Amino acid sequence: MIRPDDFRAEAEHFLETNTSRRAQARFVWGEGSDRISALEERTPAQELEQLRDAKRWKACEFDAGFGWITGPEQYGGRGLPAEYARLYSDMRSEYQIPNQTPFGIGLGMVAPTILAHAIPAVRDRYLRSLHRGDIVACQLFSEPVAGSDLAGIQTRARRDGDEWSISGQKVWTSGAQYSDIGEIITRTAPDKPRHQGLTMFLVDMEAPGVDVRPLRQITGGASFNEVFFDDVRVHDSHRLGGVDEGWTVALTTLMNERAAIGGGGAGVGSVSITRLVETARHLGLAEDALVRQHIADVFARITIARYTNLRGMAKVRAGQLPGPEMSIGKLALTQNMQRVSALLADLLGPRLVADSGEWGTYSWSEFVLGVPGMRVAGGTDEIMKNIVGERVLGLPREPRSA
């Protein structure tokens, strides 16, 4: 195995050869774009350009041996311990690289599920391509009626020889418009109890019968989609896990999802405390005792969330599966975003809803309007509270309707 010092030298040579160091950014009020959002809002053309740049970098990174540092060698990984991946991640953060958002779901949620539950031939087919950026994956869980209650889904999969026919609808699917494959949970035995009779598949997003439609948000963007399936054919080899055992497979994905969302956003997305302080200073409120107290409270909670998430991510990097405690990170993220939204409403007043052209004021509205979407993504706040209460704290189960 390569020594850490040699690995560091190799990684530094790769980064220095293929990109440049990131300039130290300093926030200055009134300079540059004042746009700030909870969710990335891009036009279709901007989205495709971002995807092309991301794929180009991902392929370069993978071919150099840094695309899947901890992955099994037979699937294109390097087979090194987690500390090597952490080392490279820390080094890479100092360099300018294309936005890697398009790969977040595929690598953070779908790929680990394929590795854990797919047959070897399917692992061979997809894992290398996912980590090299040749293909992109999305997650097809939520439905219009079931919402975050995966046990209540209605999308059906019916067996037909060596194939399955899938029909139904999914909603709030991020990245479906540019994804090549999707991980979909279906109901295969409607006569069984709710958490039983579910089966997971990998589906070709370009297959006949798949219809992706963008969902317009209150921010004006379309970060999510609804996806319709009309007799979509899937070979049984693309089943993940056993028939009617999809709930267990779904838990693998969900725990990785909450690790990715909570771990990646320990604060409040793109919001910095510096920007909040400068907003208060611009409005002449920086010396107000209550305002200072509220900003300090937000800072303390963001810091606590960050350290909590670091503990959870250390567990994952040590080779352990993400547990229900990862729901704490996701819940902390959205609660902190709500606190920032409430603080902004107090600071800005009418400036938050009326665009006067004043730099750094109305632009906050895009962030505030995006917070409800984050409260749904990866499981609603209510679902997260139930998971934490019942599976982490051991509290009695919430009464369910029959």
Give the span between the Cα atoms of 397 and 39, in whole angstroms: 33
Give the span between the Cα atoms of 253 and 139, in whole angstroms: 9
Which token pair is 361?
């004021």
Closest CA to 175 of 211, 237, 210, 224: 224
Is residue 330 within a helix (H) or strand (E), and if so which, with residue range? helix 326-348
Catalytic option among 47, 183, 257, 366:
257
Contacts of residue 12, Cβ cutoff 8 Å, sequence gap at least 6: 91
Cα angle value 242/119/130 (rounded, 5°)? 115
DSSP annotation of 45: H
- Cβ distance 155 to 186 under 8 Å? yes
- Cβ distance 223 to 204 under 8 Å? no
- In the chain, count H helices and then E strands: 12, 8
- Cβ distance 194 to 247 under 8 Å? no
CA diameter of the chain: 72
| Active-site annotation holds for 257 | yes
Give the span between the Cα atoms of 255 and 202, in whole angstroms: 18
- Catalytic residue annotation: 257
